[in-house]
Amino acid sequence: MVLDPRFHGNDRCNYFIMTYRVRQFILLLGDLGCLYFGLRLAIFLRNPIVAIKTLNDLIQPMFGLFFIALIIIYIAGAYDITRTKNSWNFYQRLIASSLIWMIIGIAFFYFRNYQYTTPKTILALTTFLGFGLIGIWRFLHNQFLSNVIHKTNLIIAGLTKETLEIIQIIQKTPELGYQILGVVETDHANSLLSLTPGISISENINNIREKHSNDQIHLIVVSRAQNSNQNLMKELYHDLFKQIEVVEETDFFEKITGRIPPITFSESWFLTNFHEQQKKVYDRIKILIDYIVSVFMSLFFVITFPFIAILIKINSRGSVFYKQERVGKNGKIFKIYKYRTMQVLNKNGSAETGGPQWAEEKDARVTGVGKLLRRARLDEVPQFINILRGEMSLIGPRPERPEFVAQLKEKMPFYDLRHLVKPGLTGWAQLQESYYGTMEENLRKLEYDLFYVKNRNWLLDLIISLRTINVVLKMAGR
């Protein structure tokens, strides 16, 4: 089963990654067990006399469907530990997953005949019982087990903006299974001290260890500001012999947020962490995949174009398509193609009357049909042309306008690093935030984009693809 992309790439936080994977694997095994017992119970209720024969007859095809069920559940976000809470929204996603799985199962069994039972009835019962058991299992797991199984006790050495954000994330998402035993901070003038309520602050690790003598320390996150603290370094050296994982705040921050913190930005850091030469084979194969998928996109475009074009023309005046200059790989300018989703407010066909401006959430310029196209991400379909031309890829940082790139480069000299790869139809940053409509928000977007450039691989691309499918199915596009 696919894992969270934040825990791939240059894996330095071994204990951190291992515990997250184990927690996901436990969820997966529990879900699979629920589906299996749901099947056995469904067969027994349908025909208890021939239950064993029926089970043997169905076990192979049903396990194939179980694997599909796990993928559907993943797409729904139910294996992201930070989202698996006991909430109505979570169970809505689980119910939707069960309905989609049953439809796929009906299609699978439609032309298949069984001597001892009717698979469609078994399938309906398995859906109800199996996913019902999953709901019960997830409730019990989230309520009683998530904070007990593989709980990771950690100490944070040094208060910075990055470590403070780590603290806040852990406090808001106890599902991650982390417990902060304390913070080491020797600078009593640190203004961040007042922003850590409920967290004990000590001058050394031993004080925290004595206070929590019954708790084993698994992980110590060290800020760069503490590198000159010789007493702390000596304590950390002795902790190596106690099998305690010691990681830098930047590595831990990257893994827990899916962003690269600006504190790392420097020529030397990028030179040692961006291993572009090692990604040549991956990049070449990705080009082939881009071309294959874009051909299928072109077929979808041909089929849907007449209907979408009519809706756009009926809803507002102006052309069906909209093209705009964007910045591509290595800073090359190209024209991106989209279905028009905004009103025509300028003679040049754009929706801008006062110069270039970022799109806003609930932008009043978006037409009624445009909202629908954006939610389903259908406005992006014409970009198969850009992919076939080699200007874009299926996955990568979304391309920005030259005017905005010039502004962002003034604020962040390393902004051009996102242009090491082709811009994408979808990307990691697009799955994290709702809108990037200000300078500050776009600089935050850069942190996500650089995470993708640094860690891009087949697994990360697959995860982004599956999550994008989730966005499309939920009509949650922007």
Look over the chain and give the mean of its residue pLDDT values, rounded to a whole number: 84
Is the pLDDT confidence value at 216 over 70? yes
The residue written with tokens 């984009």 in the block is 449
pLDDT at 240: 74
CA 365 to chain centre: 29
Across residues 184-188, what is the average pLDDT? 86
Which residues belong to CATH 3.40.50.720 in the chain? 152-257
Is 343 in contact with 302 (CB distance < 8 Å)?
Answer: no
SS3 for 172-197 is: HCHHHCEEEEEEECCCCCCHHHHHCC
Of the candidates 428, 456, 429, the residue with the CA atom closest to the CA atom of residue 444: 429
- CB count in 10 Å sphere of residue 48: 10
pLDDT at 82: 64
The residue written with tokens 């600078």 in the block is 187
Please state, in angstroms and rounded to a whole number, the distance separating the CA atoms of residues 308 and 321.
Answer: 11
Q: What is the pLDDT of residues 2-21, one digit of tens each?
A: 345 554 444 445 555 666 67
Across residues 171-196, what is the average pLDDT? 84
158 φψ region: left (φ > 0), alpha (ψ -120 to 50), beta (else): left
pLDDT at 116: 47
pLDDT at 385: 96
Of the candidates 362, 359, 365, the residue with the CA atom closest to the CA atom of residue 344: 365
Q: What percent of the chain has pLDDT over 90?
A: 37
* 3 state SS of 5: helix
Is the pLDDT confidence value at 237 over 70? yes
Please state, in angstroms and rounded to a whole number, the distance separating the CA atoms of residues 434 and 432.
Answer: 7
- The DSSP code sequence of 427-468 is -TGGGT-S---SHHHHHHHHHHHHHHHHH--HHHHHHHHHHH
pLDDT at 343: 87
Q: What is the pLDDT of residues 130-150, one digit of tens each?
A: 999 999 999 888 877 766 666
Place 332 in a pLDDT band, splitting at 50, 70 and 90: very high
pTM of the predicted structure, to 2 decimals = 0.78
Q: What is the pLDDT of residues 372-381, one digit of tens each?
A: 999 999 999 9
Question: Which tokens in the block code for residue 27?
Answer: 């969820």
Across residues 162-185, what is the average pLDDT? 87
Contacts 24+ apart (CB under 8 A), 359-367: 359/435, 359/437, 360/435, 360/437, 361/434, 361/435, 361/437, 361/478, 366/341, 366/342, 367/312, 367/315, 367/316, 367/341, 367/342, 367/343
* 3 state SS of 4: coil
Of the candidates 404, 402, 455, the residue with the CA atom closest to the CA atom of residue 429: 455
Place 442 in a pLDDT band, splitting at 50, 70 and 90: confident
- CB count in 10 Å sphere of residue 25: 13
Is 326 in contact with 319 (CB distance < 8 Å)?
Answer: no
pLDDT at 11: 47
What fold does the segment set 152-257 form as a domain?
Rossmann fold (3.40.50)
Across residues 104-128, what is the average pLDDT? 74
